[in-house]
Structure 1
């Protein structure tokens, strides 16, 4: 009876968030992995992808994991430092804006491995990992322009970080490849998570003629529903957020990357570098169309699929452009 109660307690600890800091841990021996996230793990977007990747690594390797969600830039260094001081051997700073905080903490904890999303600068114990969703953004641009009746499509994102700029430029390139005279509207709302502002920006684009929207932030799909235009989701299959308007989504499965990094740390084979898993590695894909592809010309769908296969095989390389835009 005591053994059964003890086992049940461990299960409860694995799924019950701690009251302080929004963390949750799974009981295991060996490497402990933590992730610090800028928004809620329920966003069906960037933070959900991070959380799901962390849980996938826990399942694959049996490592102990913890996370903190809704962490502001101002609090990032304190929380990263807390995890390091508590013996977490691998810590992911899952935000484009946590790089400096991770670098500061890494200097003080040389025996802890840190990973920061697109860090500006690396250290012997600080690596980076990029989200090559710009590869999928190229396909989304092709699809959006090909499905548009107005030849005007929109894109709404958070901050002009390198990854977001790469996504925008690839989206534009894909659109022009499919429809040379198409127009792409873009807006950076100045925040990683501000659904009302994202919705407002997307509605403004629809009022300028956009009838397909790339939802690079929470709130854009709400605008698509309100204006009855197509939306292209990001990070996860977001069709359930707008079953009648979310044509497909560019998904990112972070599980393989987090698992590979954790395994490398365990095996003492980790290297400070940019870890990037895209279409070729099976991490970036287009989600199911859920029947909405009936509203897209067949030749457009065929062209998008052919380009996906070309990217996967290496026959075509999506241009990586992180230049600033107005």
Structure 2
């Protein structure tokens, strides 16, 4: 069962409406219950749809689920409190912006695990963030781009400048592409969903000589792929659907494994463990690595990538796993421009 709660709150009247809603439509009785708060709609085919898929992935782990869409900043604490009061033992917020509200509410519910999706901080004993290691994968993309570039000019298009996971991926890309001998340019766009703006940014970078494009966007990622396809340059994506859009242009995709990350945590919470920290999955947390490089169902890379480059990237993954290779990007590494 998945219960949907979709409305905005405000003041004491809103609090009473929230309480009455749960009295009128309580979730089915279950020992394990998980809820997700979303900043937008689950039908956006992008970030919030991903959040909904994370929630649904907990059902096979024995959780009854519920969610609330379009949660405004001012309503976060009240929404978190509402679910915790109803006995939800996992309450999630779909972005790092929920951490502050979780820190306010968590002391009143010491048996509830609060989790920020793609955050980068936690608070003991029961507020945590989960993300995958953007720096490791960004580094691999940087080496791949440098090796596949003929012009030795590569570029990235990102949104949300300054957000930690963006800094990690963009910075990791710059550090490792530069070490591999390429010149790097980075542009930031205002909207992670604006495919047209992302395409325009990519086209401008291509016009300046970049012949491999990467990035971390939501729906706007498709704009990068479209630009690369039109201009016959290479690109990396965020899902095998983008390989289908431009099989000759896409080199690989970072495919994020949120179900595995959250499933592992959910099982541990069921067993009585609580987390109050930032848990970051990567090659060094195998078998749950948080993501993988995938071209299509049968292979990690486009067949045009030479075997020697594939081996280099595989060796990097092994070094990350062993802890002999570490990348710690700064905001300067992720800066816009060259």
Measured after TM superposition, the shift of residue 307 of structure 1 is: 1.7
Deviations 1:258-309 (A, max 9, x none): 1222222222221312222212323321113578723334432232222223
CA contact (8 A) 1:44 1:238 kept: no
Deviations 1:86-134 (A, max 9, x none): 3322112221333223323335544432112325552432122232132
Q: Distance in 1 between matches of 2:76 and 2:200?
A: 29
CA pair 49-221 structure 1, distance change in 2 beyond 3 A = same
Secondary structure of the 2:102 match is helix
CA pair 142-163 structure 1, distance change in 2 beyond 3 A = same
Q: Distance in 1 between matches of 2:171 and 2:114?
A: 29
Q: Which residue of 2 aligns with 1:304?
A: 313
Q: Which residue of 1 aligns with 2:292?
A: 285
Secondary structure of the 1:146 match is helix
Q: Distance in 1 between matches of 2:313 and 2:33?
A: 41
Secondary structure of the 1:136 match is helix
Q: Distance in 1 between matches of 2:72 and 2:317?
A: 36
Alignment partner for residue 163 of structure 2, among 161, 171, 179?
A: 161
Q: Which runs of 5 or more residues in structure 2 are unaligned? A: 9-25
Q: Distance in 2 between matches of 1:43 and 1:128?
A: 23
CA pair 194-225 structure 1, distance change in 2 beyond 3 A = closer
CA pair 278-70 structure 1, distance change in 2 beyond 3 A = farther
CA pair 43-87 structure 1, distance change in 2 beyond 3 A = same
Q: Which residue of 1 aligns with 2:13?
A: none
Measured after TM superposition, the shift of residue 237 of structure 1 is: 6.2
Measured after TM superposition, the shift of residue 156 of structure 1 is: 1.6
CA contact (8 A) 1:53 1:256 kept: no
Q: Which residue of 2 aligns with 1:9?
A: none
Q: Distance in 2 between matches of 1:239 and 1:283?
A: 20
CA contact (8 A) 1:165 1:323 kept: yes
Q: Distance in 1 between matches of 2:249 and 2:43?
A: 21
TM-score by length of 2: 0.77
Matched, 1:274 2:278: yes
* Cα RMSD for the two superposed structures: 3.2
CA pair 119-301 structure 1, distance change in 2 beyond 3 A = closer
CA pair 254-197 structure 1, distance change in 2 beyond 3 A = same
Measured after TM superposition, the shift of residue 146 of structure 1 is: 1.2
Q: What is the 5 A alignment of 1:68-87?
A: 68-69=68-69, 71=71, 73=73, 75-87=75-87
Task: Tell which deviates more after alignment, 224-233 or 75-84.
Answer: 75-84
Alignment partner for residue 175 of structure 1, among 177, 184, 206?
A: 177
Q: Which runs of 5 or more residues in structure 1 are unaligned? A: 1-12
Q: Which residue of 1 aligns with 2:20?
A: none
Q: Distance in 2 between matches of 1:80 and 1:197?
A: 35
CA pair 236-149 structure 1, distance change in 2 beyond 3 A = same
CA contact (8 A) 1:144 1:153 kept: yes
Secondary structure of the 2:302 match is helix
Matched, 1:317 2:319: no
CA contact (8 A) 1:33 1:63 kept: yes
Deviations 1:176-203 (A, max 9, x none): 233x2x1211122244444333333223
Secondary structure of the 1:98 match is helix
Q: Distance in 1 between matches of 2:71 and 2:128?
A: 20
TM-score by length of 1: 0.79
CA pair 220-44 structure 1, distance change in 2 beyond 3 A = same
CA contact (8 A) 2:120 2:164 kept: no
